Amino acid sequence: MATTTLTGFSMMSVLSLGYLTWDLMSPNQVDNEPDQTFHGRFPVPQPPHIIFIMTDDQGFNDIGYHSSDIRTPVLDKLAADGVKLENYYVQPICTPSRSQFITGYQIHTGLQHSIIRPRQPNCLPFDQVTLPQRLQQLGYSTHMVGKWHLGFYKKGCLPTRRGFDTYFGSLTGSVDYYTYNSCDGPGLCGFDLHEGESVAWDQKGKYSTHLYTKRVRKILATHDPRSEPLFIFLSFQAVHSPLQSPQEYIYPYRGLENVARRKYAAMVSTVDEAVRNITYALRKYGYYQNSVLIFSTDNGGQPLSGGNNWPLRGRKGTYWEGGIRGLGFVHSPLLQKKRRVSKALVHITDWYPTLVGLAGGDESLTEGLDGYNVWKAISEGKESPRLEILHNIDPLYNHARRGSLQKGFGIWNTAVQASIRAGDWKLLTGEPGYGDWIPPQILPGFPNSWWSLERHIKPRKSVWLFNISGDPFERFDMSEQRPDVVKQLLARLVYYNRTAVPVRFPSEDPWAHPQLNGGAWGPWVGDEEEDSWDRVYLKKNKDWKKKLKQSKNWSFFRRLNSRMMSNRI
């Protein structure tokens, strides 16, 4: 057994944030050697324990090491001692990033458009073999804690049916941090906290970031690290709206004039503390020396809710860099080259083959995936095998008025929303979303209608080209100077589009209403019932006409909520 020296932060550094935590490693804590099993006379290292932590809506400028006004000493230290990923991409909104993390490109799952709404009979396709399912095959104990947002209309959609041995968290996209009430429009609210496949009514009133952290620590405390490797996917609700935090975390940011930014900063601090306590548990219970901790955001920040992506362009819900350039780092004793910044091109789909490779799986388990095994690029500093990223092709999004097949050289309709990165170049077509550069907010606040005035100014073009390596802030459009590059990238979009499956975006089902399901969100369609993606589900029941009438009364609120969600995204 090897005893390592004390690492981490002084007590004063964390006290200045307004919360009390322990050091990254207790002075009396003895670190463990990497776990080993024995075959004959020779020890065989056990595959590493994998902890994947995802935050929700944390912007590029919402972490300390990007010179933010938000203090994150734990995340900064872990990133500094590991490998910072500064050429790392995610998707612009929640569902796509989570689906691509455990499967592949949206165009290959039918989830190209928007998010999965609570009342949609939709989820991650059943023919997809997920990352946790592969890890189960390789002998891992798999656990998920936090936000799912990949559909739940059937029990077969639930995390426990898609590769996780245990699940504790919320199924929808946004809940109250204390009450776990989730609304999909006025009067369309229900409880959303689940233990496995049951509703966890008894956990109401506990702050979700603390509750999820406590559950992860419990998993670490009760599992034997030498018995089998562990995979934990911690999908924080934070720092997604609503902006809620215990008061003691807000006080250190009392100097921030902008109220939303102040509350948002406090929520980031709760995440920082949570990661601190999880790291402590990894050491305490003997996982750390044979562990890989990955930190990732799911999309860019939302300035309307306190987030910030400065100096990048755009925000959550857009294909500008501010919507898709993610925060990310890897911290592990197993890294061969630590304490560095990696500019290797990495996409969220790369974690699937990378983690399967770390788990000891051969390449046959990852054939046909959209991701690449980037472990050598991260750990050893080698070239990334990834040369391009399809950010997305969304044929249902509002078509750009000025787009046409003619402007796409006769091979691509530039009215269609799409984006691709190849080498240094990035191409956008259609309507990429709100494209301003938004500095950190310092004013107390201003009417939300001001955002709408700017947002609804339609661009007078439908094609943009940027050299992202030389112009990461997307200030110099090169589409007119380099039509040759535009045409090449349009041809790549055509190639990818030929592999796309039809979009799955069914109508909302009135039978999903929580009041028809005991007051909680949960599955409402039997697993034996046949799927239909182009109509509202109507169960064969004598009350169905009454429920349909109710659903028509809700139609106004559905339309209103769609506009609200559009502005929110």
Q: pLDDT tens across 434-454, in order? A: 899 988 776 666 555 555 544
As a whole number of angstroms, the distance between CA 128 and CA 108 comes to 9
pLDDT for residue 447: 56
Low-confidence ranges of the chain (pLDDT < 50): 1-30, 32, 38-42, 453-455, 533-569
* Sole residue written with tokens 């050091």: 23
pTM (2 d.p.): 0.87
Give the closest residue to 294 by CA, choosing from 193, 226, 374.
374
pLDDT for residue 138: 97
pLDDT for residue 33: 52
Express each pLDDT in 333-357 by its tens digit: 999 999 999 999 999 999 999 999 9
> What residues does CATH 3.30.1120.10 cover in the chain?
394-499
> What residues does CATH 3.40.720.10 cover in the chain?
49-386
pLDDT for residue 246: 97
> Per the structure block, which two tokens stand in for 124?
């991650």
pLDDT for residue 394: 97
pLDDT for residue 548: 38
DSSP labels, 152-218: -SSGGGSGGGTT-SEEEE-SSS---TTT-EEESSTT-EEE--EETTEE-GGGTTS-HHHHHHHHHHH
* Sole residue written with tokens 């230290």: 77
As a whole number of angstroms, the distance between CA 372 and CA 361 comes to 14
Give the closest residue to 496 by CA, choosing from 372, 407, 391, 397.
391
DSSP labels, 41-104: TEEEEPPPEEEEEEESS--TTSSGGGT-SS--HHHHHHHHTSEEESSEE--SSHHHHHHHHHS-
> Per the structure block, which two tokens stand in for 492?
């790549």
Q: Is 149 designated active site?
A: yes
Query: Secondary structure of the chain: what % helix, strand, coil (to 5)?
Result: 30, 15, 55
- The answer to whether residues 26 and 288 touch, using CB atoms and an 8 Å cutoff, is no
Q: Is 157 designated active site?
A: no
Express each pLDDT in 121-177 by its tens digit: 999 999 999 999 999 999 999 999 999 999 999 999 999 999 999 999 999 999 999
CATH number of 49-386: 3.40.720.10
pLDDT for residue 36: 55
- The answer to whether residues 463 and 413 touch, using CB atoms and an 8 Å cutoff, is no
CB hemisphere CA count around 300 (13 angstroms): 29
Catalytic residue among 94, 123, 157, 189: 94
* Sole residue written with tokens 């993606």: 533
* Residues contacting 503, CB < 8 A, separation 6+: 110, 112, 113, 394, 395, 396
pLDDT for residue 449: 58
pLDDT for residue 35: 57
Catalytic residue among 66, 143, 149, 391: 149
Is cis: bond before 525, omega within 30 of 0? no
Is the domain spanning 394-499 CATH 3.30.1120.10? The answer is: yes
